[in-house]
Amino acid sequence: MILNYSQECHIQMALNTIRSDLKISIYHTAKIYEVPEQTLHHRMKGIQSKANTRNG
């Protein structure tokens, strides 16, 4: 899935919220910012999307 600028901004805001407030869950943050919960899990673990990686 290729993200547009707005989606990426929402993901970054959600990640900042999770990192700054340890009491909020990834699930609730995903609902607030309307982003996929799994995307937040992967980003927190440092996993890049396949669209952002290069082979070769």
Give the separation between CA 12 and CA 2, rounded to whole angstroms.
15
Query: Would you state the pLDDT for residue 19?
Result: 92
Q: Do the domain assignments include residue 48?
A: no
Alpha-helical (H) ranges within the chain are 5-20, 26-33, 37-45
CB atoms within 10 A of CB 36: 14
Determine, yes or no, domain membership for 37: yes
In a domain, 49, yes or no: no
For a pLDDT cut of 70, what percent of the chain falls above it? 80
Give the total number of structural domains in the chain: 1
Q: Tell me which residue range forms the domain holding 13.
A: 1-17+26-42
Per the model's pLDDT, the better-predicted residue between 17 and 53 turns out to be 17
Confidence of residue 35 (pLDDT cuts 50, 70, 90): very high
Q: Is residue 6 included in any domain, yes or no?
A: yes
The pLDDT of residue 55 is 60
- Per-residue confidence band for 52, with pLDDT thresholds at 50, 70 and 90: low
In the structure encoding, which two tokens stand for residue 27, read together?
């699930």
